[in-house]
Amino acid sequence: AILVGLQIALTLAVVANAVFIIMQRVEKIGRPPGIDSDNLIFVQSYGFGPNYDHRQTIDNDLHLLRSLPGVVSVSPISQIPMSGGGSSTNLGPEQKREKVTINTNHFSVDEHGVEALGVKLGEARNFTQAEIQYNADPANWDFVPFVILNKDAAIATFGTEHAVGKTAYDYSHSAVVIGVMENMLGSWVGWDKLTQVMLTPRIEAGPLARYVVRAEPGRRDALIAEIEQKLSNSNPHRAITYVKSHTEIKERSYRSDSRMVAFLSVLIGLMVSVTALGIVGLASFHVNVRRKQIGTRRAVGARRIDIIRYFMVENWLLTTGGVI
């Protein structure tokens, strides 16, 4: 009885902690990404050879992708949200090293980036075509005059002050905030600054090119095969590395969390089953060793329910003691 009580105590301890961890992981996986994740396709190509023209390739790809039926919007993009790979920088409201401490994910897009990602622009305006910088050095955003922050990045940088129109500093560099987005998650799903994001208006130097394609609802999977075929045939001087849905990319990033949920769920099931078998086994043992006692009680008038209640109360005391 003591061993079964200890087993119940151990099972409860493990189950309680496992359920807590599962709830944390499920909440993490279920966070709203802030973009139209279910309808997004990400494309990556890599140019090679002396005849590869990065600027011309991007212009041709954008024209081709935007002409496909079922495509809502397309934009070049430097990194993929929630993919595990990306770029970040420190921002601050003043050009002082001690003030530039706000970690922020940044993504380079063109004037269609906000619509292509499906984010909601809460304040001010989007980028214009004239503001897009081509072949900008990805290690330097001094040439980018304007940026768009999401709400969390704006609050972290400027506090409760109105962010639009203010200047954000990256040590020696600066940019004016022209817009504030609603929620958007960055690149690293395990990062505590995942919710702080910045968009910059530029198309980075090649030969690597990435695009975000927003499809009409229900057209995503059909477009994936069509995009890969048409882009592959359109330019012999580059290779299409992949064409993937954002759902697939997210699932890969959350794979360790999903496996942890599955593992702990199986562990809970096994421990509860083994503990239940122990309780049943002990109850059966008690019944077998008390047959004479049961017979005597029945002989002096005890009902069947009285016998069952006796063993049920005994089991209840045992399990309650283990839980306590």
What b-and-e string marks burial along 96-125, b requiring 16 or more CB atoms within 10 Å of the CB? eeeebebbbbbbbbbbbbbbbbbbebebee
The Cα angle at residue 127 between residues 79 and 241, in degrees rounded to 5? 25
Q: Which residue has the tokens 């920088």?
A: 89
Return the DSSP state at 132.
P
Rounded CA-CA distance 297/78 in Å is 81
Question: What pLDDT was estimated at residue 25?
Answer: 95
Selection from 119, 145, 120 nearest residue 202 by Cα? 145
Rounded CA-CA distance 220/245 in Å is 8
What Cα–Cα distance (Å) separates residue 35 from each residue in 44, 155, 175? 19, 20, 24
Question: What pLDDT was estimated at residue 268?
Answer: 96
For residue 16, how many other CB atoms are within 10 A of its CB?
11
Question: What pLDDT was estimated at residue 28?
Answer: 94
What sign has the CA pseudo-torsion 66, 74, 114, 130? negative
pTM of the full structure? 0.81
Question: What pLDDT was estimated at residue 283?
Answer: 87
Question: What pLDDT was estimated at residue 143?
Answer: 60
List, for the chain, all residue ranges whose pLDDT scores fall below the cut of 50.
none
- Dig out the tokens for 312 from the structure: 């049920």
Question: What pLDDT was estimated at residue 264?
Answer: 97
